């Protein structure tokens, strides 16, 4: 193919004059400045060997449907034989819709059999598990969404951990906000124990401590001026107490009462009479021992020289 170079504009301004060599003043070829040349400059014309745009039967609705199904703009352009710019022209609304669906899925709560609902939304649970994964690279995280023929969306995640690319997938219904995992690994990645999730949420909801404010200068001066002085109420009570007359109690004389002295009668001691084995006394008679009565002198009882019942000799 022969290479041409731009020489100048035509006199009517509708063509570009081209020449086979650079720096020549006169050209041998010209190209019309039309829409086709403008499309070629924008990169919208097919490459050599590709079909022309007029031969393509690909409506904007079909382009958007293929984008929702998960195809990229490059894949659609390559399969249809059209420039990427033509596909990107209709990709904006679909990309916004896919992003909205991804955010809705990340806010949904996954239910796990025998364990119930997750303690955290799917997006937060995934972030917590990935932060604990060995060799995880946050910059490698990629979220994508594609819609199935049934109308439900499949949310896909790819990331790098332990020097390997790993994937996870969930099926999400935007109408019911129901999300289910497509495999066991995706279930474990999107579920957190309810108790742990409640603790994390409670920790996040704790209010931050407020900083202590220093007292104002005027308040400090007022407190220093009134320190040690009684309040207005205390001063009023003290003044009223000083003006009130003091009532004196009448003095009373108390006469000393003399207590009567009681005289106890003197106790008379009983007197023991008679001799022999028996003696009349208030105490007991013991042969050969002293008869003692209260208050009386001690009397010794001597044995009689005459036996009992014998009369003394004349």
Average pLDDT of the segment spanning 125-129: 95
Task: Give the Cβ contact number of residue 30 at 10 Å.
Answer: 15
Q: How are beta strands 111-112 and 116-117 bridged, if at all?
A: antiparallel
Please, which pLDDT band fits residue 182 given cuts at 50, 70 and 90?
very high
Regarding whether 51 and 28 lie in a shared domain, the answer is no
Q: Does residue 278 have a pLDDT over 50?
A: no
Please, which pLDDT band fits residue 281 given cuts at 50, 70 and 90?
very low
Question: Rounded to whole angstroms, how far apart are CA atoms 197 and 116?
Answer: 12
Regarding whether 60 and 22 lie in a shared domain, the answer is no
Which candidate, 50, 29, 33, places its Cα nearest to that of 41? 33
Domain limit, last residue, from 177, 204, 231: 204
Q: Does residue 122 have a pLDDT over 60?
A: yes
Regarding whether 121 and 27 lie in a shared domain, the answer is no
Q: Does residue 159 have a pLDDT over 70?
A: yes
Is residue 284 assigned to a domain? Answer: no
Is residue 299 assigned to a domain? Answer: no
Question: Rounded to whole angstroms, how far apart are CA atoms 94 and 145?
Answer: 11
User: What's the helix, strand, coil split of the chain in %, to 5?
Assistant: 30, 20, 50
Is residue 214 assigned to a domain? Answer: no
Residue 153: domain span: 98-204
Tens-place pLDDT, residues 212-265? 454 455 555 655 555 556 666 776 766 766 665 555 555 555 455 555 555 555
What is the per-residue pLDDT for 166?
95
Per-chain mean pLDDT for the chain = 74
73 vs 151, residue with greater confidence: 73
Tens-place pLDDT, residues 187-211? 999 999 887 655 555 445 545 555 5
Is residue 116 assigned to a domain? Answer: yes
What is the per-residue pLDDT for 29?
83
Question: Rounded to whole angstroms, how far apart are CA atoms 174 and 264?
Answer: 119
Is residue 69 assigned to a domain? Answer: yes
Cβ atoms of residues 161 and 134 within 8 Å: yes
Q: Does residue 185 have a pLDDT over 70?
A: yes
Split into its structural domains, the chain has a count of 3
Regarding whether 51 and 27 lie in a shared domain, the answer is no
Structure tokens at 306: 């005459």
Regarding whether 102 and 81 lie in a shared domain, the answer is no
Please, which pLDDT band fits residue 276 given cuts at 50, 70 and 90?
very low
DSSP 4: -
Is residue 177 assigned to a domain? Answer: yes
Half-sphere exposure of 183 (CA within 13 A, CB side): 9
Question: Rounded to whole angstroms, how far apart are CA atoms 86 and 53?
Answer: 10
What is the per-residue pLDDT for 277?
45
Regarding whether 166 and 196 lie in a shared domain, the answer is yes
Average pLDDT of the segment spanning 83-100: 92
Average pLDDT of the segment spanning 128-143: 94
Regarding whether 164 and 189 lie in a shared domain, the answer is yes
What is the per-residue pLDDT for 114?
84
What is the per-residue pLDDT for 241?
65
Q: Does residue 157 have a pLDDT over 80?
A: yes
What is the per-residue pLDDT for 285?
47
3-state secondary structure of 155: strand
Alpha helix ranges (H) inside the chain: 35-42, 60-68, 73-80, 84-88, 92-107, 122-131, 184-190, 194-205, 217-225, 232-243
Q: Does residue 132 have a pLDDT over 50?
A: yes
Provide the β-strand partners of residue 4.
none
Regarding whether 67 and 9 lie in a shared domain, the answer is no
In the block, tokens 């904006």 appear at 92
Regarding whether 143 and 70 lie in a shared domain, the answer is no
Regarding whether 120 and 28 lie in a shared domain, the answer is no
Among residues of the chain, what percentage have pLDDT more than 70?
57
3-state secondary structure of 41: helix
Regarding whether 81 and 24 lie in a shared domain, the answer is no
What is the per-residue pLDDT for 282?
45
Task: Give the Cβ contact number of residue 158 at 10 Å.
Answer: 14
The alpha carbon of residue 100 and the mean position of all alpha carbons in its chain are separated, in whole angstroms, by 29
Is residue 191 assigned to a domain? Answer: yes
Is residue 19 assigned to a domain? Answer: yes
Domain limit, last residue, from 188, 204, 220: 204
Regarding whether 85 and 107 lie in a shared domain, the answer is no
């Amino acid at each position: 193919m022969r290479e041409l170079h731009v020489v100048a504009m035509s006199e009517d301004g509708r063509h570009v004059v081209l020449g086979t060599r650079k720096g020549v003043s006169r050209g041998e070829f010209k190209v019309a400045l039309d829409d086709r040349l403008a499309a070629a400059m924008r990169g919208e014309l097919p490459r050599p060997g590709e079909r022309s745009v007029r031969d393509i039967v690909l409506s904007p609705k079909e382009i958007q449907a293929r984008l929702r199904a998960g195809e990229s703009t490059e894949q659609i352009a390559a399969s249809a034989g059209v420039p990427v710019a033509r596909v990107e022209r209709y990709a904006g609304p679909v990309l916004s819709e896919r992003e909205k669906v991804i955010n809705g899925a990340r806010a949904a709560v996954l239910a796990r059999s025998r364990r119930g609902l997750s303690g955290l939304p799917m997006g937060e649970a995934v972030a917590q598990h990935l932060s604990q994964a060995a060799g995880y690279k946050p910059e490698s995280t990629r979220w994508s969404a594609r819609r199935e023929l049934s109308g439900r969306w499949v949310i896909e995640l790819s990331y790098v951990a332990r020097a390997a690319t790993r994937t996870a997938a969930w099926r999400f219904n935007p109408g019911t906000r129901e999300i289910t995992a497509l495999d066991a690994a995706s279930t474990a990645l999107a579920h957190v124990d309810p108790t742990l999730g409640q603790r994390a949420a409670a920790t996040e909801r704790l209010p931050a401590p407020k900083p202590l404010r220093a007292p104002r200068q005027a308040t400090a001066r007022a407190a220093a001026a009134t320190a040690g002085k009684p309040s207005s109420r205390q001063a009023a009570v003290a003044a009223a107490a000083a003006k009130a007359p003091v009532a004196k109690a009448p003095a009373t004389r108390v006469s000393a009462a003399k207590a009567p002295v009681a005289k106890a009668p003197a106790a008379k001691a009983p007197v023991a009479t008679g001799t022999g084995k028996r003696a009349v006394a208030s105490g007991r008679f013991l042969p050969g021992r002293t008869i003692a009565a209260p208050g009386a002198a001690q009397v010794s009882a001597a044995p009689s020289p005459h036996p009992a019942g014998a009369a003394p000799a004349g």
